Amino acid sequence: MAKAETAELVAAAARIESEQRTLEDLVHALDKTKLQTEKTIHRAARELEQALQREEAITQSLRTLGQAMANMQERQQAAVAAMSVRAEEIRARRTRLSELMLRYAALGSKAAELLGSMSASLESADRAAALAGAEEQLAPIVEEAASLAKTARAEGFTEVAREADVLEQKFQAIAAQLGAGKVWNG
């Protein structure tokens, strides 16, 4: 709430309290006035008129305060609506991040499996066939890592994109080593 609106509400409440005290004082005085002479009856009538004016002023002040409170309630509802929209955005982003992280984890598992099988196959007798098979198996992992990085970057998940880029680069380097016929040491 803005300071001006807070001050306005506090001032309105203070006015109502002051007017209420004045009304109560007038009613108390009116109650004590003895209605025995023309003068006291006339004074009681004036006090009654003043009390009625105070009562009308309080009613008007309460209406003004009520309107200010209604305005505040509208602001609160607008804030809650905006908060709900943001909460839904957060939920959706959290869900999407989880999906991307699961994709990354699955990719990491595939990569680890591949590295394990490559180590075993490169020790086999037919090294040329093992190198060709390993290169062939690396290509989908490199593509998947590139795709994941692209998707994550496009959706603003820079951390996931960076991790997928690192994985892609790692496997491109391994593929390059295998393509050059270099011995790869898992």
Over residues 74-123, the pLDDT tens digits come to 999 999 999 999 999 999 999 999 999 999 999 999 988 888 887 777 67
Integer CA distances (angstroms), 145 to 23, 131, 163, in order:
78, 21, 9
CB–CB of 154/161 below 8 Å? Answer: no
Tokens 């009562």 belong to 55
Length of the chain: 186
Please report which confidence band the pLDDT of residue 14 belongs to, taking 50, 70 and 90 as the band edges.
Answer: confident
Q: What's the whole-model pTM score?
A: 0.65
92, two tokens: 């959706």
Of the candidates 125, 101, 127, 107, the residue with the CA atom closest to the CA atom of residue 184: 127
| 3-state percent helix, strand, coil for the chain, nearest multiple of 5 | 90, 0, 10
Stretch (H or E) spanning 132: helix 127-154
Q: What is the pLDDT of residue 11?
A: 82
Q: What is the rounded CA–CA span in Å between residue 63 and residue 65?
A: 5
Among 146, 149, 156, 144, smallest CA distance to 93 is for 156
Q: How far apart are CA 179 and CA 42, in angstroms?
A: 115
Kindly report, residue by residue over 123-156, the tens digit of the pLDDT. Answer: 766 777 777 777 888 899 999 999 999 999 999 9
Q: What is the pLDDT of residue 125?
A: 60
3-85 is classed CATH 1.10.3470? no
Domain ranges in the chain? 3-85, 91-179
What are the DSSP calls for 52-92, one per residue? HHHHHHHHHHHHHHHHHHHHHHHHHHHHHHHHHHHHHHHHH
Residue 164 has pLDDT above 80, yes or no: yes
Neighbouring C-beta atoms of residue 156, cutoff 10 Å = 11
